[in-house]
């Protein structure tokens, strides 16, 4: 958790820096009335990638802090770690494991 929080802080600072830089770059181009769309697109792409990474880290942190462990295979509702049944639809979340020897064999 500490590593995720540290990474979130780094990425948030990076996103803020890239946003600031992109705004400044756009302003400078506007003042000079000379736009370089390739440069703007490259910088926007960098920002978009950092923002996507930040979103993923935030999602992971929120899931970990909320105790979310997974999703129900039947209805898609999230469930907490250790839950045996879905709170939403009642479906079992833990599959019963049986050795293949005990599995009923289908007639050949």
Q: Which residue has the higher pLDDT, 62 or 32?
A: 32
Using CA atoms, how far residue 107 sits from 59, 101, 103, 104, in Å, is 48, 15, 13, 9
Neighbouring residues of 57: CB distance < 8 A, sequence distance ≥ 6: 4, 7, 8, 11
Q: Which residue has the higher pLDDT, 19 or 67?
A: 19
pLDDT of residue 97: 47
Mean pLDDT confidence for 96-104: 55
pLDDT of 3-38, one tens digit each? 889 999 999 999 999 999 999 999 999 999 999 999
pLDDT of residue 63: 74
Backbone angles phi, psi at 47, to 5 degrees: -65, -45
Strand partners, 71: 78
Three-class DSSP category at 67: coil
Confidence of residue 44 (pLDDT cuts 50, 70, 90): very high
């Amino acid at each position: 958790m500490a590593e995720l929080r540290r990474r979130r802080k780094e990425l948030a600072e990076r996103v803020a820096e890239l946003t600031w830089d992109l705004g400044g770059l756009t302003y400078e181009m506007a003042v000079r009335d000379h736009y370089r769309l390739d440069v703007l697109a490259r910088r926007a792409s960098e920002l978009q990638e950092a923002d996507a990474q930040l979103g993923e880290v935030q999602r992971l942190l929120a899931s970990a802090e909320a105790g979310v462990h997974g999703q129900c295979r039947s209805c898609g509702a999230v469930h907490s770690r250790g839950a045996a049944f879905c709170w939403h639809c009642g479906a079992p979340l833990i599959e019963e494991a049986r050795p293949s020897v005990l599995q009923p064999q289908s007639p050949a």
